[in-house]
Structure 1
């Protein structure tokens, strides 16, 4: 999709230091509903119409309306594209809309492999579960089997293991789908890559994190073709480890900074307090409650990938713009002050 306007004015709109984030509630609203304006994300947005111009700040959270803020630039803007910006792309949900084309089907494949003939998710069932669980796949399965009844072969004390087994089979099926030729790239991805290259804007594709894993993510990137791959930089696990951040911080060569250490300790203290309160409430209600209060290692991995991406782009973090397909990517960008926006499933 081409526009008569240039990218530079929209790229200039990214010159701000406050991280652009999308709230978790808004993100899952994106995932569970369709776009009303089909011109926004129906095809992958063109490079010159991808960056939001109209945004409303509420604290540190940017609420895009949702992506209707994508608009053409006016003709009076500078015609010289900025050279101090870079764009980082996730794979899941951005290069390929896995959760629209494959996630529901992957669940059904998992049900079949496990002999669960009673389980089959139609599109309405999947959408309803997605909405009610806020995207938590464990919760989706629990809600579903609470509704139709659990398999008689699954004892009550083994329900958690059963859910874990289903999710593993689902992941295997989804990975197989993503690596196959049946998983299409989002419409317009190729044009986006070409536009970024022509504008002289570094484009970094992040394969180091995501549910599909580095290997599967790279197989998705290969769908771009060798010519377009030569126009981008791929940052996977090895690239993160070789980056300065990976060598010094992840490798414990240097401290990640007093502020970050203090923030980590503060999070641990808050998490411990949450668990303590939860246990007190559970005791009064005669329930057993266990809250996952650990600081997820996955978030640290995402932060490392984002910093490595900025490093390979040779740009400051604040000058890199993440186009994310997951709430975890948004959380990582928020942690380090990287502007970002979320693509959503149609």
Structure 2
């Protein structure tokens, strides 16, 4: 929840006393590892919860704030929030070099609709050269069909369907083991739940499948710890891209950390030259 989204959200809920400055926001991101619900709990623990709010209603209250935040973000997108500087040149350079570019909107915390509204700012010509992977694309991918059991062709014979269910069960078990391993290795990474991590992994695998590139030859560029953690679990190289609100955040699962696109920061040439492990 960035500061502009928070301001609109708190105003709509009549919480004019709330004051979420950039230093406060940065501190909450660090302490909560980016978990939005935890950020709100920490914040209201600090300034005090609404006096009329019963203790038993704290969880529903937090969820209502997050719902308003999502609406506020959509409003912000309608006001033409600009793309990050350099991202268009970065994509153009990749396309000119024949490198597939996949943009994942399926696991966006703010919702696929909001994520797609940002992507649309790239323009029709640029969008014709890249692939956007949302919930529908994930569900239709082979991986998505096996794991989530959606989109299975009714023409499959009974034996094939049985084998598919076995494969899905085995994959779910593998993902559960990945989550367990992740929690043992680093308790500071926000995975939220096995379901959340499973969805991100499915998005990453669907993206690789659509690009027709093995996951270990793909590179995830992301600003969220959950996305980076999921990529680590499947052996996909990953670059953390900081923003003004995460300038002090740590990204322990990233292979590299950059502050932006172009120049001394993230370029296609650097991605091609680096030896990933």
Common topology (TM > 0.5) = yes
Asked if the contact 1:267/1:295 (under 8 Å) is kept, the reply is no
Indicate the SS of the match to 1:342: strand
User: Number of aligned pairs?
Assistant: 224
**Highest CA radius of gyration, 1 or 2?**
1
Counterpart of 1:180 in structure 2 is 78
1:207 lines up with 2:105 in the alignment: yes
Shift in alpha-carbon separation, 1:142–1:341, aligned structure 2, 3 A:
same
User: Comparing both chains, which one has the higher relative contact order based on Cα–Cα distances under 8 Å and sequence gaps of 6 or more?
Assistant: 1
Q: Cα deviation per residue 1:231-280 (whole Å; 9 max; x = unaligned)?
A: 11111111112222223333275244787455456579899xxxxxxxxx
1:137 is displaced (CA, Å) by 2.6
Describe how 1:160-309 pairs up with structure 2 within 5 A: 160-177=59-76, 179-251=77-149, 253=161, 254=164, 255-256=166-167, 260=171, 262-264=173-175, 266=177, 295-309=193-207
Describe how 1:115-194 pairs up with structure 2 within 5 A: 115-177=14-76, 179-194=77-92
Query: In 2, distance between residues paired with 1:116 and 1:244?
Result: 46
Shift in alpha-carbon separation, 1:149–1:186, aligned structure 2, 3 A:
same
Query: In 1, distance between residues paired with 2:58 and 2:227?
Result: 30
Could you tell me which runs of 5 or more consecutive residues in structure 2 were left unpaired when the two chains were aligned: 151-160, 183-189, 245-277
Asked if the contact 1:207/1:235 (under 8 Å) is kept, the reply is yes
Q: Cα deviation per residue 1:204-227 (whole Å; 9 max; x = unaligned)?
A: 111111112222211111100011
Describe how 1:51-66 pairs up with structure 2 within 5 A: none
Could you tell me which runs of 5 or more consecutive residues in structure 1 were left unpaired when the two chains were aligned: 1-98, 272-291
Deviates further, 160-169 or 251-260: 251-260
Query: In 2, distance between residues paired with 1:257 and 1:241?
Result: 13
Asked if the contact 2:191/2:226 (under 8 Å) is kept, the reply is no
Indicate the SS of the match to 2:219: strand
Asked if the contact 1:193/1:231 (under 8 Å) is kept, the reply is no
Counterpart of 2:273 in structure 1 is none
TM-score, normalised by the number of residues in structure 1: 0.58
The structure 1 segments of at least 4 consecutive aligned residues displaced by more than 4 Å after TM superposition are: 257-262, 264-271, 292-295
Q: Which has the higher helix share?
A: 2
Query: In 1, distance between residues paired with 2:177 and 2:46?
Result: 40
TM-score, normalised by the number of residues in structure 2: 0.72
